[in-house]
Structure 1
Amino acid sequence: MSTVTLLPVIDAAACCAPLTREALDAQQADDLARSLKALADPTRLRLISIVAASEGEEACVCDLTEPVGLSQPTVSHHLKILTEAGFLSRTQRGTWAYFRLVPGALDAVARLLVTA
């Protein structure tokens, strides 16, 4: 006959740490995942960096192809993704499109990731 050893009951409250701030709800998590997906590309991060470093935080698509070493259609595709994600705004001037950082867009992502 085998002997069963019973372990002491542990208070459930003692093992579960309380939340110290509000957690993301399902919609916030979905929105954040979509934003991070748009940013999770080295070329897109470089494009945002170049736009941010440009005079007036604005750059023409014609000025963005050489620094990243990609064709204009490929750069335009990346810029479209960043624009749809809300990180860049687009202005058409003649035949060229100009891109500018959306004020606070990157800050909003950072706030969701920073622990208080």
Structure 2
Amino acid sequence: MPKSLPIVDVSAPICCAPLAAGPMSTDDAIELALRLRALADPIRVQVISLLMGAPTREMTASDLAAAVGVSGGTATHHLSQLRRAGLVSSQRRGVNNLYRAEPANLEALRAVLDTCC
């Protein structure tokens, strides 16, 4: 069974200067690696893509599960990993949790990976 991700402080902004800016501290490298690890799964990439492209930018776990062809429990697991990394958030509405991507955090992650300072 794969190890679960350590908890990332998602209240803090995504860590650091672009990789091309020079050597990164150990703490920043660990934080960045944990966030990238959360995206290092094809199902999670599909989930982010669906959330970013959804008309309301929100979807339930069951809708996401059906869209990517996994069980509800598997979808919930992947959403939990993305939420712990700060890449998605959820809000309870009635009996459903609605999930949405966190575009600012995804953009910050993209900026860190940008080769141009």
Paired positions, count: 97
List alignment gaps of at least 5 residues for structure 1.
1-19
1:11 matched to which residue of 2?
none
Structure 2 letter corresponding to 1:64: L
2:76 matched to which residue of 1?
76
Q: Looking at both structures, which has the greater relative contact order when contacts are Cα pairs under 8 Å and sequence separation is at least 6?
A: 2
Is the 1:65–1:71 contact (alpha carbons within 8 Å) kept by the matching residues of 2? yes
The 5 A counterparts of 1:1-116 are: 21-116=21-116
Is the 2:64–2:75 contact (alpha carbons within 8 Å) kept by the matching residues of 1? yes
List alignment gaps of at least 5 residues for structure 2.
1-19
Q: TM-score, normalised by structure 2?
A: 0.77
Cα deviation, residue 21, structure 1: 2.6
Is the 2:62–2:75 contact (alpha carbons within 8 Å) kept by the matching residues of 1? no
In structure 2, what is the Cα distance between the partners aligned to 1:21 and 1:88? 27
Over the matched positions of the two proteins, sequence identity in percent amounts to 35
Range with greater deviation from structure 2 (88-97 or 78-87): 88-97
> Structure 1 segments of 4 or more deviating over 2 A?
20-23
In structure 2, what is the Cα distance between the partners aligned to 1:79 and 1:47? 8
In structure 2, what is the Cα distance between the partners aligned to 1:54 and 1:21? 34
Is the 2:51–2:101 contact (alpha carbons within 8 Å) kept by the matching residues of 1? yes
